[in-house]
Structure 1
């Protein structure tokens, strides 16, 4: 994490979990969560990293690696994308947008270094430059009824439609949905922008953004869930992250076969639990005692108390789910896309 950015956030009462980049709260974790449901919140997205692929072969290279249709991604558009192993399991998930003939890719910070190194292995003689922008471009999330107004007051261009990006100088705003935006900001201007946005938006910790991801049904692959799922298990095709009309990419044959043979038994579910959960934790069902029936992806405290999560769960056992073992706490599961 950029040390200057961390120091600035700490000066605004941000609290981190030890020496990690996990920004937990700005002093009132419960109040921040409650605010997320109806007010505008501003979150430093320290759990994400940013990669850039540039060069005349960048488009064809990414198209040959990712599950999405990068070839048809236009300037100013954004799309979800997955990167699979040869077995069709997701090694990483991305939010990709095209900017100035380059492609920028948001992914989980704990996967950035390994993902960049492995992608680099496949470039070979292609004219592609892959680099991390994580320390030079910092990431903010803003969500709520005054999010667009706050961005406009700060002088930023605002995309009119979801999954579009708007550039204002060196700053980029990506509209995720009607009230949620991600902003990539150069280090030199991030503090001033933070001050402007926080006039109408309440600063909040990462648990708030993860809770918003859970409400939106956005399945972020992290180190804890790397290579656990084929894309359809996480309903990744439902958010436009998989194209079934493009050519080969790693794992494409398995992803396509899974789709056309209708063999997807696991899907994305929202969980509610009175007990703490963690990403990568296994779920079990007394109705299927021989093996796990699911895996937790994203977890956040619930504004109503307890915890909420996204998880991949075997659909026919979703009505009787336990956490961690067959004797573990009962977990309520509801399909994200019933």
Structure 2
């Protein structure tokens, strides 16, 4: 992450969190005060996504190399689209999830900043003699998350033709704008811009929209049902366990990639027994850890699931995406950390859960 961008944000009222050792060298932009209210999220907000890193892949064989490493089709990734993709271990367990897009001759992979160094090194190991170069682009580009009813109008000065549907992209001299899955019926965009462009645009964006922290953006990701693998959940899930194929992160018609056989077997052999669900935990007295185990009151002897992502909302409750045995939802109650821990209240995902064809 660009130090110039962080200093700029602090000069404009941001505060740096001190309780996240995974990115302690840079810091994470905390909310500007408390978590913004749902009414402000729906109306329009802008957040600096300082918790994200960016890998740039270049070279004439970059698309083919990434196509053979990731769960989605990269060879046919066009300049006007973006895709989710996963990077699996040989056992089919997700080590990282990416947002991927193409700009010019470069292919970009966006992932949590604290995972980037290790994931980039691992990808580098398999390049061998391929004509591919991987570079850390996090110091050259910054990401802004925008959402709500007023977000489109605030962006039109930089992108006259906004992407009209999720996972479409637009490019201009201002960078790349990607529309992502809606949350709460409102559009969400990610603007990836050069540092100087983001600095120039920030005051006007804050005048038109509510300035918020990265936690606000992550809260909308949860509400959109979009999982993100972080340090606490690496190698815990086959993609289908967190609905990754349902949100467009897996292509079952492409060629092989690490773990492909296990991912395909999970898709086509039998009914899936574990899925990701949307839940809320009312306890305000304790943090909800990513990777935290869940327990059923009907079978308290062993965990039945795990927290995938979690963020507090303006009411002090924690909204979560949780991976869980579907059978555990049929009886009893589900609790965090222990059979007598805080209870989970389940909600509806914004997309249907479907069994493999």
CA deviation after TM superposition for structure 1 residue 285, in Å = 1.1
Match of 1:12 in 2: 12
| Contact kept? 1:41, 1:143, Cα under 8 Å | yes
Deviations 1:229-275, CA, capped at 9 Å, x for gaps: 00000000011110111111000000000100134211111111122
1:329 maps to 2:337: no
Alpha carbons 1:90, 1:228 under 8 Å: kept = yes
Structure holding more helix per residue: 1
Distance in 2 (CA, whole Å) between partners of 1:156 and 1:122 is: 40
What residue in structure 2 maps to residue 99 of structure 1? 103
How far apart are the structure 2 equivalents of 1:59 and 1:154?
28
Q: Distance in 1 between matches of 2:77 and 2:167?
A: 11
Where does 1:312-323 land on structure 2 (aligned, <5 Å)? 312-318=323-329, 320-323=333-336
Q: What is the root-mean-square deviation in Å for CA atoms of aligned residues?
A: 1.6
More moved, 311-320 vs 111-120: 311-320
Q: CA offsets, 1:203-237, max 9 Å, x none?
A: 00122111101110000111111111000000000
Q: Distance in 1 between matches of 2:40 and 2:322?
A: 21
Distance 2:174 2:270 in 1: 45
Q: Deviations over 1:294-315 (max 9, x none)?
A: 1111111123441111111111
Pairing 1:163–2:174 present:
no
SS in 2 for 1:207: helix
Shift of residue 148 of structure 1? 0.9
Shift of 1:171: 1.1
Pick one of 295, 302, 317 that aligns with 1:306.
317
Cα-to-partner distance string for 1:139-172 (whole Å, 9 max, x where unaligned): 1001010111100134565222321111111511
Partner of 2:201: 193
Q: Runs of 5+ in structure 1 lacking a partner?
A: none
Q: Which residue of 2 aligns with 1:183?
A: 191
Give the Cα separation in 2 of the matches to 1:214 and 1:33: 16
Alignment of 1:18-37 (within 5 A): 18=18, 19=24, 21-27=27-33, 29-30=34-35, 32-37=36-41
Q: Distance in 2 between matches of 1:164 and 1:227?
A: 29
For normalisation by structure 2, the TM-score amounts to: 0.90
Give the structure 2 partner of residue 217 of structure 1. Answer: 225
Cα 1:124–1:109 shift into 2, 3 Å? same
Picking from 200, 204, 215, the partner of 1:207 is: 215
Aligned match of 1:247 in 252, 255, 271?
Answer: 255
- Say if 2:295 and 2:305, in contact at 8 Å, map to a contact too: yes
Unpaired runs of 5+ residues, structure 2, are 19-23
- The within-5 A match list for 1:108-119 is 108-119=112-123
- Aligned partners of 2:195 and 2:161: how far apart in 1? 19
Relative distance call for 1:141 and 1:156 in structure 2 (3 A) is farther
2:141 to 113, 137, 142: 137
Conserved 8 A contact 2:158-2:174: no
Is the CA contact 1:157–1:167 (under 8 Å) kept in the aligned structure 2?
Answer: no
How far off its partner does 1:335 sit?
A: 5.5
Stretch deviating more after TM superposition (303-312 or 55-64): 303-312
Structure 2 distance, partners of 1:322, 1:121, is: 41
1:36 & 1:53 partners in 2: Cα distance?
37
SS in 2 for 1:24: coil
Contact 2:304 2:328 in 1 (8 A): yes
TM-score (norm 1): 0.95
CA deviations on 1:164-221 (whole Å, 9 max, x unpaired) are: 1111115111111451100111112221111122221110012211110111000011
